[in-house]
Structure 1
Amino acid sequence: MPCQGAGAAGRRRCGAHHDTQRRGVGGAVVTVSESYRADYRELRHGAGGVVTARDLLMLTGPDTAEFLQGQLSQDLADLAPGEVTSSLLLHPDGKLLCRLRVTRTEEERFLCDLAPGLGEGARSRLERFKLRVAVDLEVRRLAMLSVRGAAAPPPPAAGSAGAPTADGEDAAVVAGVRWGGIGGWDLVAGQVAPPEGVRLCDPAALEAVRIEAGIPEAGKELTDGLIPAEAGIVAETVSFTKGCFVGQELVARIDSRGGNTPRRLRGVVLEGTDLPPAGATITDAGGSNIGRITSSAFSPGFGAAVALAYVHRRVEPPAPARLGGDDGRSCEIRVLPLVP
């Protein structure tokens, strides 16, 4: 049975193993084979790579730095050419439009890479606030190689645009990544492929590692209209000393109140290996709805399904719970990360 992949670069053949299938978020079937387990081991303990799509928003012009400083949540004033930071692009009411990674390549040129399909929305939002400033915006659809694992090689040249790629062209973005105890890096370019010594892995295996690390993802945990503090991403994406930016009021008000929000992102370890769909409800012992699943995957480390979920703030983990509806399985709500 073929493994799931990311286009031609991600397709490969599994060995002749006794495969089982688990239906995951969005109804996707995840193949749990020896190859999947090997991918998981490499992504955690060795060196594994996954190829996915990525949007790139390019901003150029003499007013770019000042313009972005007033639009994004992170302080870009001292970001030097070659440096990378993580930021949020918010609606005027302070709720999330998208998370993006910002690379300054030159004094007047910035690259914002973000989840596929979000580039045009980010460009449109920025264009609406582009008043009498000399800034040009362009969106490109590229690919991203995500390398993870305890034995991952160092990035080719983190934060620079000189890394080799599959097509021989320069990379647009190279950025170091830390998922809890797992290191790695992302490379964004027109074509990408793992370097020698890095195993090309199934994206479903990376999903399990991501969930265990408690990393929220666009379209799943990070959705349009989210209050950023609910996902626990404010500390790494927002500067409270930079001055004003669009959407600052809500973010600052919640931070001044200790980041207290109606719900919080939590980890869930489930009984059994079947994967709950996105949107599945979680109930307490009395049957009251206390949360909903956003992502799930089979974890070889736990030998069970694991998930991320937004859970009501009154629930203090670790806490027993159940899936709602006909499923009714037992599960445990835990703090993140599930695996340090």
Structure 2
Amino acid sequence: MSTHAFRDESAEEPWRAIVARGHDAEAYLQGQLSQDVSALGDDARWSLVLAPDSSVLAAVLVTSIEDGFSLSVPGEVADDVMGALRRFLLRTKCDLSWGDVASAPFTSPRERLDERWPGGREFRARLTPHSYGARFVERTISFAKGCFTGQELVGRLDARGASVPWRVIYFEGDSSERVDELLRSTGPAGPHGITTVLNTLNGVRGMGVAHRTLLAREEEPGILLSALP
């Protein structure tokens, strides 16, 4: 039986902000984030916070602010991200604190799904970046910036053509039970199943995780599946 929870299309998408300030803030984030922080300028850019094994803790939107940087983090995984960033702070002149979210990247689950962008519930699956699609990797990782936490495996995957066993899927269907059963129907034991689900006029839509072999199967009547772009 599925244990996923429905969310209303008009519900707010929760975000929190981590603020980094101090003499070493830029250098510290340069070693912790997948994006090139030194080239940020006035633009906001997506970046990843990765675990040492290269699994994604979150995609965060990084913005330059006075005397530092602001990271907009999905609320469901914000505490995990703060814990990961604080882990290597010893003898570093960088202060990390909670701040105010000036502008949320997405204001509702509907808006995020329309953009086919993963959120906190998808990041809880702890997948490697390529599981979230080529566009996600292109927008969040600088392969020219040098070393960062989790970089080694990500670089190897990219060089080998990014063949990963698990993929994040966008779906539309007539019922969440049928979709969840389908997502779990192929592959070994793992993180598959629905992660985000919204009610619609004609059924449900959302995101989930499936083994890559599911995408090679014939379409299931009443269910539309597509890997994130």
User: Structure 1 residue 227: deviation in Å?
Assistant: 1.3
User: Structure 1 residue 130: deviation in Å?
Assistant: 1.7
Tell me whether 1:92 sits opposite 2:52 in the alignment. Answer: yes
Deviation readout 1:105-158 (Å, 9 max, x if unpaired):
13x311111122533332222222123221111124x5xxxxxxxxxxxxxxxx
Tell me whether 1:58 sits opposite 2:19 in the alignment. Answer: yes
**Other-structure match for 1:307:** 206
**Other-structure match for 2:154:** 251
Counterparts in 2 of 1:210 and 1:98: CA distance versus 1, 3 Å: closer
**Other-structure match for 2:194:** 293
Match of 1:133 among 92, 113, 119: 92
User: Structure 1 residue 59: deviation in Å?
Assistant: 0.9
Q: Which runs of 5+ in 2 are unaligned?
A: none
Amino acid in structure 2 at the alignment position of 1:211 = L
User: Structure 1 residue 228: deviation in Å?
Assistant: 1.6
Which structure carries more relative contact order (alpha carbon 8 Å, separation 6+)?
2
Aligned-pair identity (%): 27
Deviation readout 1:281-310 (Å, 9 max, x if unpaired):
3169xxx4355222222334xx33223222
**Other-structure match for 1:174:** 103
The answer to whether the 8 Å contact 2:167/2:211 transfers is yes
User: Structure 1 residue 237: deviation in Å?
Assistant: 0.6
**Other-structure match for 1:334:** 226
In the TM superposition, what are the counterparts of 1:1-340 in structure 2 within 5 Å? 26-28=4-6, 51-80=12-41, 82-106=42-66, 108-140=67-99, 142=100, 172-174=101-103, 206-218=108-120, 220-223=121-124, 225-232=126-133, 233-270=136-173, 272=174, 274-276=175-177, 280-282=180-182, 288-289=185-186, 291-300=192-201, 303-316=202-215, 319-321=218-220, 330-336=222-228
Report the TM-score, using the length of structure 1 for normalisation.
0.57
Superposition CA RMSD, Å: 3.1
Partner SS, residue 118 of structure 1: helix
> Which structure dedicates a bigger proportion of its chain to strand?
1
Aligned partners of 1:234, 1:69: CA distance in 2, in Å? 17
Report the TM-score, using the length of structure 2 for normalisation.
0.81
Aligned residues: 222
Partner SS, residue 75 of structure 2: coil
Aligned partners of 1:306, 1:239: CA distance in 2, in Å? 32
